[in-house]
Amino acid sequence: MKRRRAAWWAALPLLSVLLASPAAGGGYTEIFDITGRVPPPDGGAGFLARAVPIRWDARCMPVPIRINDTLDPIPNPLGADFLAVVEAADSLSESVATWSSVPGSFLRFELVGTSSNPGPGRLDFVNEVIFRAPTFVSAFARTITHALMEDTWLEDGEDLDGDGDVDVVAGLDRCRDVDGDGDHEMPAGFYRAGTILDADVELNVSDFRFTVSDAAVDTNPYSVDLQAILTHELGHVHGLAHSLTNQIGADDGRPATLFALLDSGDPADELAWRRLSLEDMASTAFHYPEGSAATGAAALEPGDIPFDELYGVIEGEVRHSRTGLPLAGGSVFAEDAVTGRRLGSAVSGTIVNVLGPASGQRRRLPPEDAILDGRYRLPVPLGRYRVGIEPIDPEPIPASFVNETAREGSVRGLMDFPEELYDRDGEGAMELSPGRGVPVPVQPSGDAARGVDLATEVQVRLAPFGVDDVFVSVDAPPGFYYAVRFPAAEIVEATGGGPFALVAGRFHTSLVDHSEVPVFAEALLTTGRLLTDGSAELDLDRSLRREAPFVGQDDDFASFFLQASAGLGDRVRELIAQGGVEQLFLVLRVPTTTPFPGVSGTPPLVASDRGAPGTRGRSYTSVDGEVFLPTVEDDFRFDLLLLTEDASDDE
Partner 1 sequence: MNRLVSSCLLPILFAAAPLAASHTADPDLAGLLAGSDVVVLGTVHAVHGTRLDGELVTIATVTVEESLLGEPEPSLEVVVPGGFDLDRRVPIATVVSGQPQLASGERLIFFLVRIGDGRYALTLAETGALTVSPDADGAPLVGATPPLSVGELRNLISRLDDGR
- Contact set for partner 1, span 411-440 (CB under 8 A): 411-413, 415-416
Closest by alpha carbon to 414, among 318, 556, 315?
A: 318
Q: How far is the CB of 477 from partner 1 (least distance, A)?
A: 12
Binder among 15, 34, 85, 282 for partner 1 (CB under 8 A): 34
Binders of partner 1 among residues 618 to 647 (CB under 8 A) are none
Binders of partner 1 among residues 92 to 121 (CB under 8 A) are 119-120
Q: How far is the CB of 154 from partner 1 (least distance, A)?
A: 7
Specify the DSSP class assigned to residue 301.
-
Q: How far is the CB of 492 from partner 1 (least distance, A)?
A: 22
CA dist 414 and 326 (Å) reads 10
- 394 scored as a contact of partner 1 (CB under 8 A): yes
Choices 77-85, 89-97, 304-312, 410-418 (CB under 8 A): range interacting with partner 1: 410-418
State the helix-helix crossing angle for 226-237 and 85-100, rounded to 10 degrees. 50
Pattern of binders to partner 1 over 527-566, x per CB under 8 A?
A: ----------------------------x-x---------
CA contacts within 13 A on the Cβ side of 329? 31
Phi, psi (deg, nearest 5) at residue 96:
-60, -45
Distance from chain centroid for Cα 319: 19
Choices 12-20, 172-180, 283-291, 354-362 (CB under 8 A): range interacting with partner 1: 354-362
Q: How far is the CB of 468 from partner 1 (least distance, A)?
A: 5
Distance from chain centroid for Cα 35: 29
Closest by alpha carbon to 363, among 374, 352, 350?
A: 352
- 507 scored as a contact of partner 1 (CB under 8 A): no
Report the residue number, 195 or 348, with the smaller CB distance to partner 1. 195
Amino acid at 569: G
Binder among 127, 211, 264, 459 for partner 1 (CB under 8 A): 264
- The alpha carbons of the chain give a radius of gyration, in whole angstroms, of 26
Binders of partner 1 among residues 55 to 94 (CB under 8 A) are none
Q: How far is the CB of 160 from partner 1 (least distance, A)?
A: 6
Phi, psi (deg, nearest 5) at residue 493:
-65, -40
The residue count for binding partner 1 (CB under 8 A) is 99
Report the residue number, 405 or 527, with the smaller CB distance to partner 1. 405
Choices 57-65, 256-264, 487-495, 535-543 (CB under 8 A): range interacting with partner 1: 256-264
Binder among 11, 137, 215, 294 for partner 1 (CB under 8 A): 137
Please enumerate in sequence order all residues whose Cβ is within 8 A of that of 77, keeping only pairs 6 or more positions apart, or say none: 205, 206, 207, 208, 209, 222
- 141 scored as a contact of partner 1 (CB under 8 A): yes
Report the residue number, 160 or 576, with the smaller CB distance to partner 1. 160
- 478 scored as a contact of partner 1 (CB under 8 A): no
CA dist 651 and 648 (Å) reads 5
Binders of partner 1 among residues 583 to 602 (CB under 8 A) are 600, 602
**Count of C-beta atoms within a 10 Å radius of residue 505:** 28
Distance from chain centroid for Cα 338: 22
Binders of partner 1 among residues 153 to 192 (CB under 8 A) are 154, 158, 160
- 517 scored as a contact of partner 1 (CB under 8 A): no
CA dist 375 and 317 (Å) reads 4
- 471 scored as a contact of partner 1 (CB under 8 A): yes
**From residue 11, how far is each of 14, 17, 18, 38 by CA, in Å?**
9, 11, 13, 12
**From residue 149, how far is each of 50, 51, 54, 201, 573 by CA, in Å?**
10, 10, 10, 21, 58
